[in-house]
Amino acid sequence: MSNIQDKVVVITGASSGIGEATAKELAAKGAKLVLAARRENRLHKIQSEIESKGGTAIYKVTDVTSQEQVKALAAFAITTYGKIDVMINNAGLMPLSPLYERKIKEWDTMIDVNIKGVLYGIAAVLPSMRERKEGHIINISSVAGHLIGPAGSVYSATKFAVRAITEGLRKEECINNIRTTIISPGAVASELPETISGLELKTAIDEFYMIAIDADSIARAIAYAIEQPSDVAINEMIIRPTRQE
């Protein structure tokens, strides 16, 4: 039996890309999934696909910018399955733009989803994990959480923040047997570039994404972190396309 069998895993941003691929990978390995995102039709379809292959999944429509909704998501998981073993804070968006364009609404959204959404996810699961003296929190950062490019200041700031928060969490909670993992993907084929509103920049990013790897590559890395024995914590992984500079 794998170390993933029967683990209860909550995934935010599970309606597409990395979240969807991770849900399917972990379901195939016997995890009990709790899928969260805003688009219910997508979540329903993914749940059906998982179940048709013999997997176990439930979903709850959740906007991670609402602390109440994220709290309700964790409560739903615990009511249904009795516990949360793994929380994957994956929901995110990347509306890149130069600072001078002052797309302040997009900055706010990035901060709300990419940073506050992760914090709300941590807040929602930490009490029950502490009580059980067991748990695993996986936060999706980015290569942009290690370096900054033009038009990427705010996105990078959010992804640097995810790494800072996760490392702080590790220092505080390792004593309570709670594992933390930072996942930093490079270019991964997904809907993420669609959040870029500037046409010229979107075209440039689409070109850059020609080398993008499948979301499955990230799902496998996440599964690897989860399936380690409970006294082993994979604290950070960077996964790039081989040809990404």
Supply the residues annotated as catalytic: 155
CB 117 within 8 A of CB 91: yes
CA atoms within 13 A on the CB side of 131: 9
CA atoms within 13 A on the CB side of 68: 0
Contact residues toward ligand NDP (CB under 6 A) are: 12-13, 15-19, 37-39, 42, 62-65, 90-94, 113, 140, 142, 185, 187-188, 190-192
CB of 183 to ligand NDP, least distance (A): 8
Those residues with Cβ within 8 angstroms of residue 27's Cβ, 6 or more apart along the chain or in another chain? 33, 50, 53, 55, 56, 57
Rounded Cα–Cα distance for residues 221 and 239 (Å)? 8
CB of 184 to ligand NDP, least distance (A): 7
CB of 136 to ligand NDP, least distance (A): 18
In the complex with ligand NDP, the residue whose CB is nearer, 65 or 177, is 65
CB 151 within 8 A of CB 201: yes
In the complex with ligand NDP, the residue whose CB is nearer, 81 or 120, is 120
CB of 243 to ligand NDP, least distance (A): 14
Query: Among 177, 109, 81, 190, which residue's Cα sits nearest to residue 137?
Result: 177
Structure tokens at 21: 């691929």
In the complex with ligand NDP, the residue whose CB is nearer, 61 or 130, is 61
In the complex with ligand NDP, the residue whose CB is nearer, 113 or 234, is 113
